Amino acid sequence: MSQEDLKHTIDQIALKGKGILAADESTKTATRRLEGVGVASTEESRRQYRELLFSAPDAGKYLAGVILYEETLMQNASDGTPFPKFLEKHGILPGIKVDKGLIKIPFTEDEEVTQGLDGLPERLAEYKKLGAKFAKWRAVYKITDTLPSPLAISSNAEVLARYAAICQVAGIVPIVEPEVLLEGTHTIERCAVVSEAVLKEVFVALKRNLVDLRYIILKPSMVISGKDCPKKATPEQVAEHTLNILKKTVSDVVPTVNFLSGGQTPEQATLHLQLMNVHPMPWNLSFSYARALQDPTMNAWAGKKENVKTAQDIFSRRLKLNSLASQGKYDQGMEQVHS
Ligand code: 13P
């Protein structure tokens, strides 16, 4: 029964103190990141790197799920176990990125909509057989003084919602990811206005498409000043604005909100999560980070066997700190202590 599948999955994902690792970089993005640390990107190097992440000590203690790229879903760990089974053995649910990237929206200023609905039911059935329990679809919104346009907001909301409905029919929990980009000179106030408009429209579309909000994972960006904004918002402002927008737009029945890191430093992403978890909220507030978990790990590894243990320790440490932050138990002083 798909409703039972959905309930079983969401109950595990929404467990307090647990988060999600996004390890679903497309081959193009994985290649850019690997080459950035001097590693040639091959099917085997991507497999080895991802095994390093999944087999880190205590990964299962802090991770409820990992989002995989299709290539990884079909690969095996070194002992021959298929990755989805390998993760489940460690108590981690495998998920799968199902969108097929971005295409330009005609007649806009280079705005984009996410594609991938064609053949989605068939792909989901296949992914489910391979062990996937949840899925991810990412929509992106550029901020300027005039963007995102109403057309970009409504087009992306509609496809996100249609994707979510198709997932639920397949018994797969959808991650609904509307990402308002960090790139730009915008203030936190402008980001708040845009994030509210985006989330409002996403929830209108989810309702219109009859998506059961009890079985979704919302993966939003935090409300934050643009990367190149001269007036940087404080961590307290980020937490306050983000919670404000969530309270205005997100139904209380959504069980869990797992933020993306979006280009924040690992320490910022952890601190912001902590500051939000000081206040009791109707939803579990946790993480679904890629860069904020992986950047220091990948730098420490740099493709060398002798660095695997150090890299895994760094990764486990970030998982632990984010797990604490998701429970309101993190303190910046912990960044200095190595245990
Ligand atoms: P970042 O945490 O690096 O933003 O990645 C999360 C993600 O899954 C983007 O789609």
* pLDDT tens-digit map of 211-239: 999 999 999 999 999 999 999 999 999 99
Ligand 1 center from residue 1 Cα (angstroms): 31
The protein residue with its alpha carbon nearest to ligand 1, atom 8, reads 22
Question: What distances in angstroms separate CA 218 from CA 13, 88, 260, 268, 287, one per listed residue?
Answer: 11, 22, 10, 20, 10
Q: Which range marks the domain in which residue 331 is found?
A: 3-336
pTM across the whole model: 0.98
Q: Residue 267's domain is classified under what CATH number?
A: 3.20.20.70
CA distance 153 to 203: 12
CA distance 334 to 41: 34
Q: Which of 51, 177, 201, 240 is catalytic?
A: 177
Q: Does residue 177 have an active-site annotation? A: yes
Which residue from 74, 89, 95 is spatially nearest to 24, judged by alpha carbons?
95
Phi, psi torsion values for 240, nearest 5 degrees: -65, -50
Number of domain units in the chain: 1
Per-residue pLDDT, 337: 66
Q: Does residue 183 have an active-site annotation? A: no
Per-residue pLDDT, 336: 86
* Rounded (10°) angle between helices 2-13 and 150-169: 110
Per-residue pLDDT, 2: 80
Quick check: helix, strand or coil at residue 214? helix
Per-residue pLDDT, 338: 57
The protein residue with its alpha carbon nearest to ligand 1, atom 10, reads 138
Quote the distance between the C-alpha of residue 170 and its chain's center. 21
289 C-beta closer than 6 A to ligand 1: yes
138 C-beta closer than 6 A to ligand 1: yes
Ligand 1 center from residue 102 Cα (angstroms): 15
CA distance 45 to 34: 9
Q: Which of 219, 236, 248, 309 is catalytic?
A: 219
Sign of torsion, CA 17 196 100 295?
Answer: negative
Mutate to test the pocket of ligand 1, among 134, 261, 293 (most ligand atoms within 8 A of CB): 261
Low-confidence stretches of the chain (pLDDT < 70) are: 1, 337-339
Peptide bond before residue 148 is cis, with ω within 30 degrees of 0: yes
Place of tokens 């099917």: 43
176 C-beta closer than 6 A to ligand 1: no
